[in-house]
Structure 1
């Protein structure tokens, strides 16, 4: 994948992917964000195939990032709940 495509995907995920609490919401959000990402990539001249060649299914990647964000948020909330 081109360096331009990698930079685009990293920046886009960092901007759009935020914590979600339930698995159902994560999957729905991942589906929506994957469509948005593909459309935005096309707008800037990056074929979806270039991205998928490097990372596989972008919906799965986004879902994984959403899950990581939710887990990190839960870990941050746990100490506050104990106080």
Structure 2
């Protein structure tokens, strides 16, 4: 994958992928975000194939990032409660 495609995907995920609370919401949000990412990548001249060649299924990647964000949020909330 080109450096341009990598930079686009990293920036896009950082901007769009935020914590979700349930697995059902994560799956739905990942599907929506994957479609949005593909459309925005195409607008800037990055074929979806270039991204998928490097990372595989972008929906799965986004879902993974959403799950990580949810876990981090849960840990932060638990730490805050423990500190009280």
Which whole-Å CA distance do the structure 2 matches of 1:43 and 1:66 have between them?
A: 24
Which whole-Å CA distance do the structure 2 matches of 1:14 and 1:82 have between them?
A: 29
CA offsets 1:1-42 (integer angstroms, 9 cap, x no match): 000000000000000000000000000000000000000000
Offset of residue 76 of structure 1: 0.2
Offset of residue 66 of structure 1: 0.1
- Equivalenced residue count is 82
Cα RMSD (Å): 0.9
2:82 maps to 81
* TM-score, normalised by the number of residues in structure 1: 0.96
Offset of residue 59 of structure 1: 0.1
* TM-score, normalised by the number of residues in structure 2: 0.95
1:7 maps to 7
Offset of residue 81 of structure 1: 5.5
Structure 2 unaligned residues grouped into runs of 5+: none
